[in-house]
Amino acid sequence: MRQAETDYLIIGAGATGLAFADTLIAETDAHVTLVDRHGKPGGHWNDAYPFVTLHQPSAFYGVASMELGSGLKDPVGLNRGMAELASGPEVSGYFDRVMNHRLLASGRVSYHPLSNVLGEVDGGVEFESLLSGDRTRLAVRRKIVDATYFSPEVPATHTPAFAVGAGVRLVPPNALPGLWQLAQAGAMPRRFVVLGAGKTAMDARIWLLQAGTPAEAIRWVVPRDSWVINRLGTQNGPEFFEQAIGGQADQMQAFAEAESIDDLYLRLEACGTMLRIDREHRPTMFHLATLSEAEVEVLRRIRDVIRLGRVTAIEASAIQLQHGRVAVEPGTLFIDCTASAVRFKPPQPVFEGRRITVQLMRAPHIAFSAALTAYVEVHGGDEAQQNRLCPPVPFPHTMAGYVYTMAGNMRNQQLWNQDATLRQWIRQCRLDAFGRLVSGVDKADAAKQALLARLKTQGMAAAANLPRLMAAAAAASAA
């Protein structure tokens, strides 16, 4: 058994582990060891479907010390006029650069790809190379950082939870750009069924339509309709000030005036911050998926939608669902988008003795949350004070859950505002989406100052209404 030493062991070299390591390296002279089962940095981005992109502008994703993307706006396509969204390959390439040019180049980082952390043994942590089987016992002088809390499930690596009969053509979305090979073999499918209601299923349907598939050839199996965030409100360039800050003020006003959970979503839709694909159906799910209005328009072209609950089995000529059975043409291609990127995990203290469990500090900004946690690890004082600065924000697993997510975001912002050093760090951090946009406003710019004042007033009104919405959320979960 090999023996090694480090100050910090980070389990997981996905976006979370890398953002944490980057800030730790910037703020200390510690030695850091990253161990990951994947063969390359970037976690699930290595397994993503080829046409995946970020949901949000590249400008505030990745690690704090290195820009992602070119800062340009998309000149064409369904995101036209808005800040570019990095593609999956771009994100993977970026994380390679982070590892090589930033972390390994510091001389203070060891990286062990294709290695599995086995657990703590005799005060050390053991990991095993998946290639050689060689084991290493690592003595960790300071902390073990668990950067696997989110670990989203993606289609290429998950096992469907439904039965798949003989002869069924079922593929993950990763297979779609390779359909030309089926055409060459004379086996091109003429009918497509997309399974799933989340962002991956939305992306797969948009890809099929944009690639030229007639809308009538696509059927969508949607267990639950979903609310989606309007991407226009996530733009952080100065030219989008009105949409971004005005959108946040509108959002706060919706939280301030809503009388129930349903009323909240309808108000968010009315002010344009929330969208739905089918106006005839009231969504019952919200997992922070983000789309442009042009993408929503494209998705509305698909009219063949099955709403009979979850798929329980697929046969060559039929789909069995919780609430019914639907015939399909032989030779139909099923696209499995049922992997759940957001598995429920209960929040836990971030700082617990020798262990740090990186979680959301501000939803949905995972990269910002990880960098902030590293900063608090270094500068946040004792464990009690660190946990005071880092209460986890729950992911909205239910519609009502969004109220707790927003309450957590607002509480944390208030906590950080009271800590002058942390506030200063956040203001200069590239991963903080809107801080620089707000702090750069000219005092003499009356229109922008008025919007900021409105955001503040509505924010206070929203905070005052949160107890009522939380009571409504608790009643909704009890029902």
Please report how close the Cβ of residue 324 comes to ligand FAD at its closest, in angstroms.
30
Please identify, using beta-carbon distances, which residue of 151 and 409 lies nearer to ligand FAD. Answer: 151
Decide whether 296 or 370 has the Cβ nearer to ligand FAD.
Answer: 370
Pick between residue 102 and residue 169 the one whose CB is nearest to ligand FAD. 102
Give least dist CB 41 to ligand FAD, A. Answer: 8
Maximum Cα–Cα distance across the chain:
70
State the sign of the Cα–Cα–Cα–Cα dihedral 421, 57, 286, 271: positive
Cβ-based nearer residue to ligand FAD, 189 or 247: 247
d(CA 191, CA 316): 13
CB of 374 to ligand FAD, least distance (A): 13
What minimum distance in Å lies between the beta carbon of 270 and ligand FAD? 26
Identity of the residue, 14 or 223, whose beta carbon is nearer to ligand FAD in the bound complex = 14
**Closest distance between ligand FAD and the C-beta of residue 365, in Å?**
6
For 94, the 3-state DSSP assignment is helix
The nearer residue to ligand FAD, 8 or 306, going by C-beta atoms, is: 8
| Least spacing, CB of residue 432 vs ligand FAD, in Å | 13
Helix or strand holding residue 267 (H, E): helix 261-270
The answer to whether the beta carbons of residues 392 and 415 sit under 8 Å apart is: no
Question: Computed from CA positions of residues 390, 391, 395, 396, in that sequence, does the dihedral angle turn out positive or negative?
Answer: negative
Which lies closer to ligand FAD via its Cβ, residue 36 or residue 419? Answer: 36
Under DSSP, the state recorded for 246 is I
Taking each helix axis as running N to C, give the angle between helix 446-478 and helix 401-417, from 0 to 180 degrees, rounded to the nearest 10.
130
Residue 140 C-beta: closest distance to ligand FAD, Å? 14
Give counts: helices (H), strands (E), the chain: 14, 20
Q: List, edge to edge, every strand of the sheet that includes 227-230.
A: 274-276, 227-230, 290-291
CB of 320 to ligand FAD, least distance (A): 27
Q: How far apart are CA 140 and CA 7, in angstroms?
A: 5
Nearer to ligand FAD (CB atom), residue 88 or residue 189 = 88
Only one residue has tokens 């050689």, namely 132
Instruction: Report in angstroms how near the CB of residue 231 gets to ligand FAD at its nearest.
Output: 10
In which residue are the tokens 């030779």 written? 331
Cα(459)–Cα(451) distance, integer angstroms:
12
Question: What residues pair up with 334 in beta bridges, in sequence order?
Answer: 170, 193
Give the Cα separation of 245 and 376 in Å (integer): 27
Which residue lies nearer to ligand FAD by CB, 14 or 189?
A: 14
Smallest distance from ligand FAD to CB 330, Å: 31
Q: Cβ atoms within 10 A of the Cβ of 476, count?
A: 16
CA distance 275 to 234: 14
> Whose CB is nearest to ligand FAD?
43
Min separation Cβ 52 and ligand FAD, Å: 5
Q: Give the residue among 160, 203, 167 at the shortest CA–CA distance from 53.
A: 203
> Cis ω on the peptide bond leading into residue 364 (within 30° of 0)?
yes
Nearer to ligand FAD, 13 or 306 (CB): 13
The amino acid present at 188, given as its one-letter code, is M
Q: Which is nearer to ligand FAD, 56 or 386 (CB)?
A: 56
Q: What angle do CA 208, 324, 476 make, to 5 degrees?
A: 90
Positions touching ligand FAD (CB under 6 A) are 11-17, 35-38, 43-44, 48, 52, 54-56, 61, 116-117, 147-148, 150-152, 154, 341, 364-367
